[in-house]
Amino acid sequence: MTINEYNQAVNLYSDRLFRFVLKSIKNQYTAEDIVQDSYEKLWKSHQNVDGQKVKPYLFTTAYHTMVDRIRKEKRSVWTEENALPEESHENHYNDLGEVLNIALNKLPEIQRMVLLLRDYEGYSYSEIGELTRLNESQVKVYIYRARVFLKNYIGKMETVI
């Protein structure tokens, strides 16, 4: 990978990578750190990375960095102090995005990650499997379970509108 390809990767993927991490982490500063770490790791191994495979490399690196950070924070008191309050979906909402964000937060971590990679970032099942080190059938099961949960959580459209 050349310096120009690296700079192009920053321009093309940094916003998408940040959105992906932020949707999962819910902390802007931590998301910025993870994206920065991902680009730093890319730079350190830029001679070994093919210019055509930069996007999967970045998302894989960010995903694994994020998982490591989440595991580390689960062992600390910080996550208990900043836990999100429970909100009921039975209230009437004006914003479908708000309902989806609440529902996404209730998903288990792995289901949320694969669903975001599939539906928000447009990765194929096999690409998600490579990124998360899961086989393709596991990815499909997690996405299916996440979608069923979201469907059941949101319920009828009258609840949302």
Report domain 1-83's class.
Answer: mainly alpha
| Residue type for position 144 | Y
Please tell me the predicted confidence (pLDDT) of residue 28. 87
**HSE-up (13 A, CA, CB side) for residue 151:** 6
Alpha carbon distance 126, 33 (integer Å): 27
Per-domain residue ranges of the chain? 1-83, 89-161
5's tokens: 């390809």
Per CATH, 1-83 and 89-161 having the same topology is answered no
DSSP 2-34: -HHHHHHHHHHHHHHHHHHHHHHH--HHHHHHH
Amino acid code (one letter) for 79: T
Angle at 38 between CA 17 and CA 67, to 5 degrees: 80
pLDDT in tens, 77-120: 444 444 444 444 444 555 677 777 788 888 888 888 888 888 88
pTM of the predicted model as reported, rounded to 2 decimal places: 0.58
Fold of the domain built from segment(s) 89-161: Arc Repressor Mutant, subunit A (1.10.10)
**Residues in the chain with pLDDT < 50?**
77-91
Helix (H, G, I), strand (E, B) or coil at 66: helix
